[in-house]
Amino acid sequence: MISPLASIHPDAIIGENVEIGPFVFIDKNVVIGDNNKIMPNVTILHGSRIGNGNTIFPGAVIGAVPQDLKFRGEETTAEIGDNNVIRENVTINRGTAAKERTVVGNNNLLMEGVHVAHDAIIGNGCIIGNSTKMAGEIIIDDNAIVSANVLMHQFCHVGSYVMIQGGSRFSKDVPPYIIAGREPISYCGINLIGLRRRGFSNEAIESIHNAYRMIYQSGLNISDALSKIESDAAITPEVKYIVNFIRSSERGIIK
C-alpha cells in the first residue's frame, strides 16, 4: 500500500491500511491514522496530525509553517480529523503561538486550491469551495457551506448552516443559518433550503426567521434587537445560538 517512490521519515507514525502514492513526502513528527488514502505528490510536513479515513488528493500540502512573520519556529500542529476529502493543491498551515494548532474537524470537503491559514478552526461537515482562502485564526462552525473564491479576513467567525455566495469577501462575522452574498456582502435571508435538507422542523425554521427579522428588519440597533428577542421570543436552542453568536462577536456581524 506504500509506493517505493514515496519518501517517509523513519520517525513518522503511520497507521494500518494506509495507501501512500508515489512522490509523497512525509516528514518527521507526523502522525497518520488508519485507512487513509494519500495520492501522489502530497506533502505532509512536521507537526501534522491526521486521523482516520481521509482522502488527500495530489498536490496538497499539510503542515507547512505559517505565513506569519511573528512565527519563530515554535512547536505547533496542523490537525485533521476523520473522513475528510482534501482535494488537489489544498494548503493547510500549522499553528503559531497564538493557538498552537490549526484544526480541520471531521467529514469536511475542501475543494481544489483551498487555503487554511495558521490557527484556523474548521468544524465538522463543512464544504469549502474551490480557491477559497481563509486567513489566520478564523473559525467556521459545523455544516457551513462556503462557496468558491471566497476571501475570509483573519479572526472572522462563520456560523453553522451558513451558505456564503461564491466570490464574496468579508471582514465581519457571518451569523448562523443565513445566506450571505452580494457586494458588499450582506444578509440575504435564512438558508431555508439548507435547513430543510438538514431536517430542521418548520417550528425551528420559523423561530430562526423571526429572530433575523428582528435583527435585520426591525430598525432596531443590534443590542436592542437581541434584548427584544430574549424578552419576547421563545428561546429555542437555535435562537439561543444566534443570540450568543452575535453577542460574542468581536468584529461585528455583516449587515
pLDDT of 45 higher than 90: yes
Q: Which fold has domain 195-247?
A: Udp N-acetylglucosamine O-acyltransferase; Domain 2 (1.20.1180)
| Distance (Å, whole) CA 36 – CA 24 | 13
**Which residues are the active-site residues?**
118-119, 136
Outline which parts of the chain fall under CATH 2.160.10.10. 7-137
Task: Enumerate residues 6+ apart whose C-beta is below 8 A from 237.
Answer: none
* Per-residue model confidence as pLDDT tens digits over 219-241: 999 999 999 999 986 799 999 99
189 confidence band (pLDDT: 50, 70, 90): very high
* Per-residue model confidence as pLDDT tens digits over 160-181: 999 999 999 999 999 999 999 9
Outline which parts of the chain fall under CATH 1.20.1180.10. 195-247
- Quote the pLDDT of residue 65: 98
Of 59, 64, 60, 135, give the one whose Cα is nearest residue 93: 64
Answering whether pTM is above 0.85, one says: yes
- Other C-beta atoms closer than 10 Å to the C-beta of 233 total 14
| Distance (Å, whole) CA 26 – CA 67 | 20
User: Would you state the cell numbers that stand for residue 200, as one nine-digit string?
Assistant: 430542521
The one-letter code for the residue type at 147 is: S
- Quote the pLDDT of residue 233: 66
Q: Which residue has the higher pLDDT, 42 or 234?
A: 42
Q: Look at domain 7-137 and name its CATH class.
A: mainly beta
